[in-house]
A and B are shown apart, each in its own frame.
Chain A
Amino acid sequence: MQRKDFLGHVAWTGAGIAYAMSAGGLMTGTALARGVTGSIDFVQISNSHIGFHQEANPDVSATLQSAVNAINALPDQPKFVIHTGDVTHLSKPEQFGTAKDILAQLRAPLIVLPGEHDFIGQDYNSFFQAFPTPKGGKQWFSWDQNGTHFVALINVFDFEKMGLLGNDQLTWLKRDLAAQPSSMPIVASRRCVLKRSNPPTNRWRIATASHALWNC
């Protein structure tokens, strides 16, 4: 099977990115706002920053609500929707509450990964209480979906080290990927940092089935 590595860093403008896995194993992403035809495997939304209220977007809750509405309006529902980090702006309880209420309206299954804005004060519990991992407990996980192996990693536990995964996670990841057949396309989803004034610190990346992983 011909498979190309796909590396995308896509600015999210409020509606989400729809991804589809082609027969050739290439993952393609399209902004939902551009109109999506054909089947969708999953939709990525990110950096909702619920609680942000500056000029750049005075009503982030409305933006997230419109993204949810757009996804719910898709005639063919995605297999899942993944929110890759910075659900909240300041990790405040009411911000997690608002995000949870809006995201709960999604018709498709939801996966939420934390960003550094969701762990302010080194408080990890608020996030995981609002958005438990699918099986509880372990905070990184993997799953198979229609012949594709997805890996959800968290690189904001120790953000001073700028996006490192840490040994526990890397050891787990090695074992997890080693168990996959070589023909299985692998998608590693990490939160992406889409900042106005920040150097981008990490990106979405898709690891090849040969178990290569990129570092920033």
Chain B
Amino acid sequence: MPAAVAAAVLLGAAAVPNAATATTVQTVEISGFAFNPAVLNVTAGDTIRFVNHDQEAHTVVAQSGAFTSSGLDTNDQWTVRITKPGKYPYFCSLHPYMKGTIVVRAARGMH
């Protein structure tokens, strides 16, 4: 078994306020050729972790091109931290019918 992939991408030019506070990590489970939950609500600055539980490899690719994961083998995980509020629809580039969305809300005091 290869070592779990642990790559992180930082998105968005906006600085995260109170960067000293620990960021929240939210997880999207990939299993049965689906992202769970399909729609994930996070706060700007949160880290989103994708974990692949399938025997098949998957990827996480933003439709906008904002992020692209490496190939996630079984039990691999990949994290992305999004600081810019917005809707981020994404799909698996190996099975494009696998789709999900991350909804990023502004952090408190960020307006």
Residues on A close to B: CB < 8 A?
A: 51-56, 89-92, 116-117, 119-122, 159-162, 196-199
Query: Contact: B68 with A122, CB < 8 Å?
Result: yes
With a cutoff of 8 Å between Cβ atoms, the chain A residues found around residue B91 in the complex are 160
- From the candidates B57, B69, B96, B97, name the one contacting A121 in the complex (CB within 8 A): B69
In Å, the complex CA distance between A159 and B82 comes to 24
Say whether B61 faces chain A, with CB atoms less than 8 Å apart. yes
Query: Contact: A160 with B63, CB < 8 Å?
Result: yes
Residues on B close to A: CB < 8 A?
A: 1, 33, 55-57, 59, 61, 63, 68-71, 73-74, 91, 93-97
Query: Contact: B56 with A197, CB < 8 Å?
Result: yes
Query: Contact: B94 with A121, CB < 8 Å?
Result: no
Query: Contact: B95 with A120, CB < 8 Å?
Result: no
Can you give 24 A-B contacts (C-beta < 8 A)? A54-B55, A56-B55, A89-B71, A89-B73, A90-B57, A90-B73, A117-B94, A120-B59, A120-B70, A120-B71, A120-B93, A120-B94, A121-B59, A121-B69, A121-B70, A121-B71, A122-B93, A159-B93, A159-B96, A160-B61, A160-B93, A160-B96, A161-B96, A198-B95
Query: Contact: B1 with A53, CB < 8 Å?
Result: yes
In Å, the complex CA distance between A196 and B70 comes to 22
Would A197 and B70 be within 8 Å (CB), given that A54-B55, A159-B93 are in contact?
Answer: no
Query: Contact: B95 with A121, CB < 8 Å?
Result: no
State the 4 A-B residue pairs at the shortest beta-carbon distance, nearest first.
A90-B71, A120-B71, A160-B96, A54-B55
For B7, give the chain A residue with the smallest CB separation: A121
For A54, give the chain B residue with the smallest CB separation: B55
Would A197 and B33 be within 8 Å (CB), given that A159-B93, A160-B91 are in contact?
Answer: yes
In Å, the complex CA distance between A91 and B94 comes to 12
In Å, the complex CA distance between A56 and B55 comes to 9
